[in-house]
Chains A and B, each alone.
Chain A
Amino acid sequence: MRILDYISFGLKNLIYYKKRTIYNIIITFSIILIILITFTASNTIISFLEENINKNIEYRTMYVKYDVMEESLSSVMKKLSKVKNVIKVIEQDKYQSYITIDKFKTNKTDGEINIIASDSNLLPSIVAGRNPNSNDKNYLICPTKFIADSNLSTRTDLTKEDYIDGRKFLNKEITIKYYSYDYSKEIPEVLNQYEEEFQLIGLYNTYDNYAKDNTCYTSFTNVAKINKNMSGNSEEYTEEVYYHPIIIVNDSKNIDSVFEEINSMGYTPIKRMNIDSNLIGNIKLICLSILLIAIVISIICMITIILKNIKEQEQEIGLLKALGYTNKNISLSFLVESLIIGLISFFISILIYTILYFIISNLINNTNLIFTKIAINYSWYSVLISFIIIIIIPIISTFTWFKKIKNVNIVNLINNE
């Protein structure tokens, strides 16, 4: 029997039993579509969690405490820079600072923002404006919607109306203000007031990286300069100030291993922000279990369809055997039939999936919701997996059945009504 015979055989059967064929195609393509969608959804959720956490440098940052009597800062920093997955080691005072911006003041807030040192590799994704380049000196990257207040975390009276629209300041010059203090006095007095012109060149979504609503980013140089200015004459008048190093890890996934490593070096690492890895782990677990359940149910459904198909045609099988068809001929006929159904369903579901993908991606891209832009990835992986399922399941079920039916009496098959 040639392959062409099997195909024309299968097609004739499928066309004659139209109703059954359409029913089987609908079920099979729904199954594949469910696999594709669950795959994409769980993929999107998981990568959303992982990527967005990674975009917030604070989740990848740790203080490292060490015994200042035993070791010098520079030696500690040298050792830390050799730890695997650590991409940056800086002094604590070069990492972040607080400044006031008069333009950001409202009747309820004092205009103070938290600025964090960053560079183009460490920044969250810019949704309006642009990324800084090497020519930019005094630049700021701020949230699209933010609140500038020094007590942000303890304020409960702030509402939606108190948010500042970052777009109003985009590409505008803004004056930042900070002070240095005279530490010779009992209560330190203002020694100097600094005012500098900065430009707000880009906006990011705090929803993207879970940053606090008063967090802006600028260069490492700027933060170091501001902190240096702010310290005023402290070196002369205060007791010794010990700075601790801060390290930045390449990926939030590695934060725990780096933490352990530094611990074992005899230092005390302290995470800037704790990822609720349990929560994320649980969400991932839920996504994966749903995916697994979807796949298992799909496979069971497909096997059921195929076996039911075969069962309904037992008389026909008996006849074919009586005419001299071998078990191999018959099994291959059914296999080809199942494969045809599978492939038709596969292409329909890929088509629907692709259309759905474009519709939903477009919807998300074109809404100006405050919500983050969720990146839906076209899941080639799930396309591949469903294709494998479409091919493997008919093969397995047909040959399992083939083994079972091999020695069934032809007379019993023919008389089966």
Chain B
Amino acid sequence: MSIIKLVQAEKVYYKLNQEIKALNNVNIDFSSGKFYAIMGHSGSGKTTLIQILGLLDNLTSGKYYINGKDVENLTEKEKASLRMKKIGFVFQSFHLSPNLKAYENVILPMIINKDILPKNRYQEAINILEKLNLTNRINHFPKELSGGEQQRVAIARALANNPDIILADEPTGNLDEKNEDNIFKLLKKISQSGKCVIVVSHNKEITKYADVIYTMKNGKIERLTDENS
């Protein structure tokens, strides 16, 4: 069953009186337990798409449903709540808080989650970091970590509130090949644990791991793998 769904989605940017259709009639479904790759040339609209899916931006027209609910009808507070509980976002440049240690960065999303008791936060964070092989790095500040480690902390943070959807925009963009493979493997594993993982990348490597591959061109999206996969 699809967990998120875009229907006739359009996103138009206006720059110097020029209309840029970053998303052009996009119709797409994503299901739990699958690893989706979104590929495409620079400027094709990948970031725009994933930001909309992450509720970081709004559509110009069309519909976006999460768990069957139309996002347009949600208040700012409800959207914030969805970002907290339903969605984990991984940025290309990690965006870790430099003033917080690795485990504190993971706790950051838990602070606003009433379902996690304050006294349990630390243990939860350690558990997640352990799964990502960061046991020895929990007390490090971001600047004391390698790029690959930082991205794993960022992924740990995205997993903090056990969201159903993991979104990543070029998560390996700042990493070398070895770390790249590691991150893709990790995301694959996460999808296998029942989550919907959507990763934007123009790196061919990703095709080895993805269950479903989409490609974007001038704001339009096209499925490369067949429907059954």
Interface residues of chain A, those whose CB is within 8 Å of chain B, are: 1-2, 4-5, 9, 12-13, 15-17, 315-316, 319-327, 329, 406, 409-411, 414
Contact = CB atoms under 8 A, between A and B. Distances in A.
Contacts, number: 66
Interface in B54-104: 54, 56-57, 76-77, 80-85, 87, 89, 91, 95, 97-100, 104
25 contacts: A1-B111, A1-B112, A4-B118, A5-B111, A9-B111, A12-B104, A15-B99, A16-B100, A315-B95, A321-B56, A321-B83, A322-B54, A324-B81, A324-B83, A324-B85, A324-B161, A325-B80, A325-B112, A326-B77, A329-B112, A409-B57, A410-B56, A410-B57, A411-B57, A414-B95
Given A9-B111, A410-B56, A414-B91, 16 more contacts: A2-B118, A5-B111, A5-B118, A12-B104, A17-B99, A316-B97, A321-B83, A322-B95, A323-B83, A324-B85, A324-B109, A324-B112, A325-B80, A326-B76, A327-B76, A414-B95
Nearest to B161: A324
Nearest to B82: A324
B51 interface: yes
Given A12-B100, A316-B97, A411-B56, A323 B118 contact: no
Contacts of B108: 320, 323
Nearest to B104: A12
B95 A324 contact: no
Interface residues of B, number: 28
Nearest to B88: A323
A15 B104 CA distance: 14
B84 A323 contact: yes
B112 A12 contact: no
A411 B112 contact: no
Nearest to B108: A323
Contacts of A323: 83-84, 89, 108-109, 112, 157
A406 B75 CA distance: 12
B83 A322 contact: yes
A121 B93 CA distance: 79
Contacts of B82: 324
Interface in B17-71: 51, 54, 56-57
B73 to A, nearest CB: 17
Interface in B194-217: none
Contacts of B57: 409-411
Nearest to A413: B56
A16 B99 contact: yes
A322 B112 contact: no
A329 B157 CA distance: 18
A315 B81 CA distance: 20
Nearest to A323: B109
Contacts of A324: 80-85, 87, 109, 112, 161
A144 B171 CA distance: 87
A406 B80 CA distance: 12
A13 B83 contact: no
